[in-house]
Structure 1
Amino acid sequence: MLKVIVVDDEPLARKGMQVRLKEFTELDVIAECSNGEQAIEAISRLQPDLVFLDVEMPGMDGFTVLKQLQQLNSPLPYVVFVTAYDHYAFNAFEVSALDYVLKPVEPERLKQAVEKAIKVARADDSRLHKGQLAEAVARLTGDDADNILQRLDNAEPVVNERYPEAISIKDSGEITRVPVSAIEWVDAAGDYMCIHTRDGQTHILRRTMKELEQELDPRLFVRVHRSAIVNVHTIAKLQMLANGEHQLMLTNGQAVKVSRSYKDRVKQVFSQ
């Protein structure tokens, strides 16, 4: 059975969630919390497998709860966010939560979330998921979780207009935050990304080029090849080679090949 904690500042919401969760024999609700402080204490002490976490709570919201747990190095459970926000706005949270359900909670939607939690738990993927959850929360909220919530309250876009100021890279049990502004260029090496920074370091990140490209501000970074992304501020010149192909020369002396399919994107940089 999965040990479950329900966190919501509304008593009726907590009661309703507990009643519905009793229908699942695979779940055991071991505690309920009415605010963020209680949630942090209960999660740290009881170490549940799954938490149904309300996003908007007075005093300490759901994002802050996760950030505090991360700072305490407390084991992170699977998280299903519970929120009254519209579905389109909640796309911002999908990368950092196992799932989400909207208020008022519909039985079928709750069933889907529970089944997903059970499936992931049975796959014994907790270590990977919890690491992804910690990194995603850091990337999404940055240093100010309230700012994200305010943008959602105002129905402002989150995913397409807000880009992280740093990228979290996990290596040998450590997580390093690399400032995006320090990245000069990125190239693919098999299943890994090599992130080259202006201090001469190379950081290895396990993520696809497409995923990384979506996290970087297109005003600052340009895809020049299926296996390369370049910071526009590091571009010194565009060269045409004897064979008709193009390459970029960066300010650090690095040459980066430009593929034909991305040539027009690169030329746009020089027209700005």
Structure 2
Amino acid sequence: MDSARHAAATPRNESAARLRALIVDDEPLARRGLEIRLQAHPDVEIVGQYGDGASAIAGLREHQADLMFLDVQMPGMDGFATLRAIPAREMPLVVFVTAYDHYAIRAFEASATDYLLKPVEESRLEQALARVRSARAQREASGHCAQLLGLLGELSGRPPLDLDEALKPDALEQLRREEKLAVRDGGRTVRVDLRSIRWIDAAGDYMCIHTDGDAPNGNTLILRATMREMEKQLDPQRFPRIHRSTIVNAQRVVELRPHTNGESYLRLDCGQELKLSRSYRDKLSVLL
């Protein structure tokens, strides 16, 4: 467990407009990089830096921070487990920091104060801080807590959790085991059983999700979306992209047949054949 480095605390009544911030990341270089970038923002005061969730929670209670830059992928207590351990009345504004998390990016966009991708860019940090300042000016603690609970629920397309559900020790694990894909289509949300998906392909500005169904060739759900949006919601180990316009459910592949020029053909358990293009040959390890 990394030891905390504390900055001198400034009484709230002497700097009411300042943002008292914690940096929580298990990578010392990442913490240092964010610290250097924040020096350009005089209204941000770093009151603590921590390498794990447990120390961060203790530091939050000690320093009564307004803002937490929270790494998602930390060993032991990850970012989401850290959030679950913070009482609602103590919850600061949260900016998530992540290298890339295919489960959560879309949820961050919808529910977090903001998120930053590593390596952190100056322009994105400025945008995030602008959102933080705006949120602090108008937020209520209960409203922010509801946003975070909504985030935990959105990880699996479930409705927002209530506080008791979110604080259960296995809450995040249950969400990640949820076998549903939530796809937004205009004003509606369609939830699709992941196990029923055979493959997904692009058709212009639309995505075709081919699933098991009563029809002879199964059912096809057509949604206005992009391939990138679909990839962000799906685990690439279970749903690898095999062509610029095709994603496949790896569990449904029953045969792989090499073809010319480094390409291959996959046969699914429903009889459908799909091309694995040369550009995606690195996905063979997932499919075999």
- What's the TM-score once normalised by structure 2's chain length? 0.49
> Which residue pairs with 1:36 in the alignment?
53
The CA deviation at 1:118 is: 1.1
Q: Deviations over 1:203-227 (max 9, x none)?
A: xxxxxxx5xx53x7478xxxxxxxx
1:79, distance to aligned residue in structure 2 (A): 0.4
- 1:144 aligns to what? 171
Q: Secondary structure at the match of 1:92?
A: helix
Partner of 1:82: 97
2:7 counterpart residue number: none
Paired letter, 1:130: H
Aligned partner of 2:43 among 26, 33, 44: 26
Mapping for residues 4-153 of structure 1, pairs under 5 Å: 4-69=21-86, 72-85=87-100, 90-122=105-137, 124-140=138-154, 143-146=170-173
Letter of the aligned partner of 2:80 in structure 1?
F
Q: Which contiguous aligned blocks of 4+ residues in structure 1 show a shift greater than 6 angstroms?
A: none
Q: 1:263 is matched with which residue? A: none
Aligned to 1:160: 183
How far did residue 93 of structure 1 move?
2.5
Q: Indicate if the aligned counterparts of 1:89 and 1:157 stay in contact, CA closer than 8 A.
A: no
Residues matched between the structures, number: 162
- CA offset at residue 11 of structure 1? 0.4
Asked whether the equivalents of residues 183 and 191 of structure 2 are also in contact (C-alpha less than 8 Å), the reply is: no
One-letter amino acid matched to 2:40:
E
> Judging changes above 3 Å, is the alpha-carbon distance between structure 1 residues 11 and 158 closer, same or farther for their aligned structure 2 residues?
farther
CA RMSD of aligned residues (A): 3.2
Could you tell me how far apart the structure 2 residues matched to 1:105 and 1:157 are? 32
Give the Cα–Cα distance (whole angstroms) in 2 for the partners of residues 125 and 16 of structure 1.
29
Alpha-carbon distance change, 149 to 36 in structure 1, aligned in 2, over 3 angstroms: farther
CA distance in 1, matches of 2:177, 2:98: 14
Question: What does residue 252 of structure 2 align with?
Answer: none
Q: Is the 8 A contact 2:98 2:116 kept in 1?
A: yes
> Any gaps of 5 or more consecutive residues in structure 2?
1-17, 156-165, 194-288
Distance in 2 (CA, whole Å) between partners of 1:108 and 1:87 is 23
Alpha-carbon shift at residue 82 of structure 1 (Å): 0.2
**Do the aligned partners of 2:182 and 2:191 also contact (CA within 8 Å) in 1?**
no
Which ranges of structure 1 fall in alignment gaps of 5 or more residues? 162-209, 220-272
Q: Which residue of 1 aligns with 2:13?
A: none
Q: TM-score, normalised by structure 1?
A: 0.52
Mapped to 1, the partners of 2:129 and 2:144 lie a distance apart of: 17
| 2:261 aligned partner | none
Map 1:184-223 to 2 at 5 A.
210=187, 214=189, 217=191
| Aligned counterparts of 2:49 and 2:19: Cα–Cα separation in 1 | 15
Q: Identity over the aligned pairs, expressed in percent? A: 37
Q: 1:25/1:87 Cα in 2 relative to 1: closer, same or farther (>3 Å)?
A: farther
C-alpha separation in 2, matches of 1:88 and 1:138: 11
1:87 Cα offset (Å): 7.5
2:52 and 2:24 mapped to 1: Cα distance? 7
Alpha-carbon distance in structure 2 between the residues aligned to 1:102 and 1:56 = 12
Quote the offset at 1:20 in angstroms: 0.6
